[in-house]
Amino acid sequence: MSKTIEDLQCYVNNGCMLLDQHFPGWDDKIDINQLDISNCKACVLGQLFSEYVLGTRFLGLDYNKIEDCRNFGFFGYNNWKLASLWIKTIKNRRNEKSIDRKSGDHLLVSETRNEASTCLV
């Protein structure tokens, strides 16, 4: 089944929300130049937890249930598209944080993240 870019972005947003709940500041720890969804050590969870499987366990996901991991954008329907969406999202989050630090308006970042993450799995 083919997924639209909107579907994939929705999954990435779900993953961001889950990571925000369990690992605040996670997005500052990702090396977007090394991000590779198909590599268990270079994917988002691999970079944060040293390996994909350890990351799924930390977040309470069952790595054997592929759909569960796909619904959070950690495993792909299209790894190349998924990686580009993670990179875009992380860059946007970093930019928001930079603007936030300059303006002193901490509400802006959290409101933007919550609004962007309203899709269903």
State pLDDT tens for residues 23-67: 999 999 999 999 999 999 999 999 999 999 999 999 999 989 988
Quote the mean pLDDT of the chain: 86
Tokens of 22: 């369990």
Count each helix (H run) and each strand (E run) in the chain, helices first: 6, 0
Residue 76 has pLDDT above 90, yes or no: no
